[in-house]
């Protein structure tokens, strides 16, 4: 009798769940405000398709979205609440011009740690308040003040590469460039370098391990209760199970330690900037932002912001440097053009040229722009929730809809960039000579009020590192090619089919003059 009661109850629960989901699917396909928009029915019916391709198949939904656009056009419904729009001329409206409010999608908040950081701040106005002091910390003027710090890290890379040449060492580009970017962002944001450039062989476990941590982001998006349950597991057990969790925990601990130290020193009267006028750290900037309410200068807020800034500064710029390197070493004529231009302003390999001067070099700036554009790893969508109806072609998009696009799909649009998968810096020089501004179509750093905070720091690292690298050395690729930086999977950033990214190189020559 009890067994029959249990089976009947279980069957009732299953039937109720089935009917509940069926009603949801019918609503999503027939009555939902986005029901009329183009796209396959299975994408709009529920979030199951996105979960299947990203969780079960391993981060490949971005490739399905690309196929949808090929079939349905520039606007496609890709899940219940989200439209992907890849028209390059629509991006400013999607991100929101100055003064236009855009919220962050709540679904993406589940994918990241640090709930009080600007990355996870959903409301537009709240985000604007939190971001204001950080804008000045990462402004171009502020980054120019720390150019000597960046240059000192670049110099360390150059010296270590000379040692690698003498020993014939095989180098992983992501280790080399990741050590640079990690030491720069930790020095500037935390006030103390992590010292990865001092490690033998540029060894940087953070880069690989933190990437491993983000392999779980799709699970976090679709199964938030599972992530909540994992928080009940003792921390020491999680750290033993996951290197990514262990490295992320190190960053969290470091951020909290520096935040605590800063709050104590500020209470004792320590000023935001040192004698040179350079901010002592990101934490000092936030702790001294007296236009913010006390809750926005709390230990939790400073810790969360420190975590996000550190993680964001670790890998993306290193990947752009790797991307440019593999393309230059695969196109020797382009490399020789770049080296000839660098010799025109750097009389000797150890010459120091200001970032602003390097930016004015036509071919170097074209190489940087093409390296940012001709990438295949900025695959993650950047969703924004519109707060008012919006027109796109013949479509009226209702308020509350989520709009997104993969930066890679924008950067590879053949209408703007003919032969988009070919690395050709000359396209930027030719466009400039015709008075056409291609920069406005570059989607690598997003746009609007939530544009990448570290864009100026990234540009400074790119210009200073590339100039020093190719004025001092020649390299060869070793068992590597462009295919090693082409994404087949997406977990925050793109990865190859075997969950890797990066190439191996060897220094073949040191230029003496």
Length of the chain: 513
* Cα distance between residue 264 and residue 9, in whole Å: 58
DSSP 90: G
DSSP 105: P
Q: How far is CA 442 from CA 18, 147, 489, in A?
A: 45, 25, 22
* Cα distance between residue 273 and residue 279, in whole Å: 4
Tokens found for residue 87 = 């028209």
* Cα distance between residue 336 and residue 144, in whole Å: 29
CA angle 115, 119, 121 (to 5 degrees): 60
CB neighbourhood size of 432 (10 A): 15
* Cα distance between residue 315 and residue 491, in whole Å: 13
CB neighbourhood size of 72 (10 A): 16
CA angle 301, 143, 263 (to 5 degrees): 30
Strand pairing partners for 261? none
Report whether 306 contacts 298 (CB < 8 A).
no
Tally helices (H) and strands (E) across the chain: 23, 12
Tokens found for residue 308 = 């996000």
User: Three-state SS for 14?
Assistant: helix
User: Three-state SS for 247?
Assistant: helix
* Cα distance between residue 404 and residue 450, in whole Å: 13
Q: At what angle do helices 455-472 and 147-167 cross, to 10 degrees?
A: 40
In the block, residue with structure tokens 């710090």: 149
Write the CB contacts of 192 (distance below 8 Å, at least 6 apart in sequence). Answer: 186, 258
Strand pairing partners for 392? 395
Report the half-sphere exposure of 444 (CA within 13 A, side-chain side).
25
Report whether 409 contacts 379 (CB < 8 A).
no
Report whether 392 contacts 454 (CB < 8 A).
no
> Which helix (H) or strand (E) segment is 98 a member of?
none
Strand pairing partners for 477? 505
Does the annotation place 23 within a ligand binding site?
Answer: no
First-to-last alpha carbon distance for the chain, in angstroms, is 92
Could you tell me which residues are annotated as the binding site for heme?
Answer: 452
Could you tell me which residues are annotated as the binding site?
Answer: 452
């Amino acid at each position: 009798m009890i067994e029959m009661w249990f089976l009947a109850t279980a069957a009732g629960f299953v039937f109720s769940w089935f009917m509940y989901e069926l009603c949801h699917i019918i609503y999503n396909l027939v009555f939902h405000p986005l029901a009329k928009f183009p796209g396959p029915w299975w994408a709009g019916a529920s979030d199951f398709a996105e979960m299947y391709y990203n969780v079960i198949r391993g981060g490949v939904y971005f490739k399905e979205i690309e196929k949808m656009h090929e079939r349905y056009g520039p606007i496609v419904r890709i899940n219940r609440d989200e439209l992907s729009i890849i028209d390059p001329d629509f991006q400013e409206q999607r991100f929101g011009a100055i003064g236009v409010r855009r919220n962050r999608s709540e679904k993406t908040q589940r994918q990241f740690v640090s709930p009080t950081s600007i990355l996870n701040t959903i409301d537009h106005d709240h985000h604007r308040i939190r971001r204001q002091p950080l804008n000045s910390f990462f402004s171009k003027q502020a980054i120019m003040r720390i150019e000597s710090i960046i240059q000192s890290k670049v110099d360390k890379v150059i010296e270590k590469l000379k040692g690698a040449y003498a020993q014939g060492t095989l180098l992983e580009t992501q280790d080399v460039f990741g050590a640079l970017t990690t030491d720069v962002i930790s020095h500037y944001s935390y006030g103390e370098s992590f010292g990865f450039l001092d490690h033998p062989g540029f060894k940087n476990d953070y880069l690989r391990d933190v990437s491993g941590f983000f392999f779980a982001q799709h699970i976090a998006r679709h199964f938030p209760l599972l992530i909540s349950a994992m928080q009940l597991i003792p921390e020491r057990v999680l750290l033993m199970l996951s290197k990514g969790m262990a490295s992320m925990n190190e960053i969290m601990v470091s951020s909290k330690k520096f935040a605590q130290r800063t709050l104590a020193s500020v209470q004792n009267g320590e000023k935001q900037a040192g004698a040179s006028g350079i901010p002592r750290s990101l934490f000092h900037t936030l702790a001294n932002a007296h236009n913010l309410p006390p809750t926005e200068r709390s230990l939790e807020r400073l810790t969360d912001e420190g975590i996000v800034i550190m993680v964001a500064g670790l890998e993306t710029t290193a990947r752009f440097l790797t991307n440019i390197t593999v393309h230059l070493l695969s196109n020797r004529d382009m490399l020789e053009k770049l080296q000839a231009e660098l010799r025109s302003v750097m009389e000797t390999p150890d010459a120091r040229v200001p970032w602003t001067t390097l930016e004015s070099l036509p071919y170097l700036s074209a190489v940087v722009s093409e390296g940012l554009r001709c990438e295949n790893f900025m695959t993650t969508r950047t969703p924004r929730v519109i707060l008012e109806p919006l027109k796109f072609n013949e479509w009226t998009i209702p308020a509350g809809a989520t709009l997104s696009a993969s930066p890679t799909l924008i950067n590879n649009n053949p209408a703007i960039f003919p032969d988009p998968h070919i690395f050709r810096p000359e396209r930027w020089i030719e466009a400039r000579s015709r008075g056409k501004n291609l920069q406005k179509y570059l989607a690598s750093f997003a746009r609007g009020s939530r544009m990448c905070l570290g864009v100026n720091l990234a540009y400074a690292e790119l210009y200073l590192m590339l100039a020093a690298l190719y004025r001092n050395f020649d390299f060869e690729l070793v068992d590597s090619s462009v295919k090693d930086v082409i994404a087949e999977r997406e977990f925050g950033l793109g990865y190859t089919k075997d969950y890797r990214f990066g190439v191996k190189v060897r220094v073949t020559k040191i230029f003496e003059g």
